[in-house]
Amino acid sequence: MEKVGVQHIEAAHVQMLDPLDCDRAVRTLPALNAVADLGGLVTAAGSAVPNTREVADFSFPECLAAMRDLGIFAGSIKRHGAEPVEHVPGLEAALLNLSGRTGMIPRDTIHHYAVWNPLGLRERLYTGEQMEILLKSSVRRSLPKITAAIELCGSLHEVDPADIEFTFKVNELVTSLRSMEDAIESVVATVTPEFFARSLRPYFEEFRVAGRSYLGPAAAHVPLALIDLCLWASDNGDAAYTEFWEDSAEHALPQLRPLYDRWPRKPSVVTRVADALRARPDVPNVRASAEAVSRALRSLVNFRGKHYTIAKKAYAEEVGLYTTGSGGGTIALLDRIMTLTRDNSLLMRDSRRRADSARRQAGAKQCES
């Protein structure tokens, strides 16, 4: 059985850290952003930049907190039209050093911005608006559930669909996926597409470090693709989605990135369960596993439908300022991924129907004999 080996970093510990002594400076960030005070942002960021020796002395959690704080300053500078490393002395070296210490990209990610961000008065915010806080909160709640779902996926690869353990684990996976539905419903209810598109999205622009551009802390970089790869996408995806998740993989936690290499080479759960239904339609545990997989896929379809609706509104020509999402994807790509997920859900449903028909036919022949 494959072990995912996800390292559980204590989020609360990172949240409480302030290795760059930024608590006071970050409280001014929304006000500086509101008036586009590029000079003030550059000065604040410059006063926070650690030197090489200081980074070397940081603990691993302190490195995460430092990247979190440098990242939100850098994202603000970029939002107002300047490349951060060109305007803040020592910033590029600090970002590269922190990247080397943590094994992550040389800028902040969705983990830094949402999960490792303090709560309450110390919260690091671009705008200070309540909708920004609510959006981050939904990501903060759902990311641990996605990590738990990935661990369950890792345990499914080597378990036979006829084994009751397989059914149990897929049912646990359904619970984790439904929490994502709850999170997206919370966003729909509390965050307007206009706020995201016009007020928040500009802070997630890519900026350059050591000659390469890195996207900002986009919610699109949560590792949902790993769940897709396990359930259906390893052998039932397409080139466009593959290109997207391959590009997104570098934004994942370092302990998850090897899975983006291994899991595409494994048969998907949909394929394995469909094969099991054809070969053993009369085995009750196979049928139970197939029903559980269908529920998991329906949950993904529901989540993606809600996400697509929000994104379509946010990136409508009359609302948004961009044609691509903060994670680099387009509305057309979201539509394609939703269609692929739905197609695999239908494939699973049809496989169950064929298995039920084969079982009934076998029973009728037994009665005749």
Distance CA 96, CA 91 (A): 9
pLDDT category, 6, cuts 50, 70, 90?
very low
pLDDT recorded at residue 362: 66
Instruction: Tell me what percent of the chain is helix, strand and coil, each rounded to the nearest 5.
Output: 70, 0, 25
The closest of 46, 2, 48 to 22, measured between CA atoms, is 48
pLDDT category, 309, cuts 50, 70, 90?
confident
Instruction: Answer whether 0.85 is exceeded by the pTM.
Output: yes
In this model, does residue 5 exceed pLDDT 50? Answer: no
Least confident of 11-25, 113-127, 172-186: 172-186
Higher-confidence position of 218 and 64: 64
In this model, does residue 320 exceed pLDDT 70? Answer: no
In this model, does residue 114 exceed pLDDT 90? Answer: yes
> What are the Cα distances from residue 209, in Å, to 40, 90, 254?
21, 12, 19
